[in-house]
Amino acid sequence: MNEKLRVLVRVDLDGAKAHVRVQGHVTAQSVHGCLYDVVKRASALASGLALELDVTRAHVDPDAMGELQRCAKSHHLPVHADPLQRDYRISILTPGHATSAAPSLVLAA
């Protein structure tokens, strides 16, 4: 398994979508140290941008997936990651299915 995390963000500003494709090993540490920042930066590109987090090519630890799913469900990142508690439209695409808390979007980082 590749421990290095690779992230590609593709943005469709016309469709107000961003697709974030993640490869490698996703841990709670990489969620806190990388993915939250990617989500914040991608969301800052345009108001109301929807984010699709594609982890179909990643190995995601259960605790990391739980954190991501909580963010998608609540529409917020944890307070330590975003003290202003902005609204985020995040959907998660997993190998088995897509869990959507918002319309799909395309973003790569």
The pLDDT of residue 104 is: 39
Look up the pTM and report it: 0.81
pLDDT category at 97 given cuts 50, 70, 90 is: low
SS3 assignment, position 21: strand
Residue 15 has pLDDT above 80, yes or no: no
The pLDDT of residue 1 is: 63
- Structural domains of the chain, ranges and CATH numbers in brackets: 6-100 (3.30.750.24)
Residue 99 has pLDDT above 70, yes or no: no
The tens digit of pLDDT for each residue in 37-81 reads 999 999 988 888 999 999 999 999 999 999 999 999 999 999 999
76 is written with which tokens?
């917020």
Q: Which of 35, 105, 95, 92 is nearest to 59 (CA)?
A: 95
